[in-house]
Each structure stands twice: as C-alpha cells, then as structure tokens.
Amino acid sequence: MTATLLAYVTLTVAIFSEVIATSALKASDGLTRLTPSAVVIAGYGLAFILLAQTLRVLPVGMVYAIWAGLGVVGVAFVGTFFFGEAFSVVKAAGIAMIIGGVVVVHLAG
C-alpha cells in the first residue's frame, strides 16, 4: 500500500472515530454519563492521533476540508437515524453542497 493510500485510509478511520465521538457527546448528556463520556474521550483522542499521522503525508488544507466536511455529513446522518432529528430537502441540499465543496477543495489541492 502506498503512503498516500494509507494516509487516506487513516483519514477515513479518523473521520469515523470523530463521528462516533461526536455522537457519544450527544449521548453523554453533558458528559454526565460515564460510558458515553469515555467514548467521547477515546474517540476524539484516536481521531486526532490519526489525523496527525495523515498530515505527515497529505496537505493540511485538503485534509481539513475532507475531515470537516465528511464529519458534518456523518454527524448529520447519525442525528437523523439514531437521535430522531429531522431530515429535510434543505438539509439534503446543504449536505450536497458540503460534499461538493470537499470535492472542489480536493481537486484544487
């Protein structure tokens, strides 16, 4: 596996870890519930360690665009499917714009 491909795989795992941590943050009820709070700490810790490794190979602007954009999309889906948050055409359009922005930044990088 090339260093670039490995960096993208690492970034993907970092994004999943961040989405899990953010979702656990919602479930932690203000960090008052022990298990979800532990998931928050472990998830963000792993996410940042992996993100740091990714930045050894890939440019920071592109990595951050992918990280932030796909993190927002992931958390929006988790909110809809696990926390009963509304999903509308407007939210879908916003998600499409975020993904489009990530693609543009990636192509420009």
Structural domain for 36, as ranges: 3-108
Give the residue-averaged pLDDT of 60-83: 92
Token pair 């989405």: residue: 19
Q: Is the pTM of this model over 0.85?
A: yes
- Tell me the HSE value of 39 on the side-chain side, using a 13 A CA sphere: 19
Number of domains in the chain: 1
Give the residue-averaged pLDDT of 32-57: 97
Of the pLDDT bands very low, low, confident and very high (cuts 50, 70, 90), residue 109 is: low
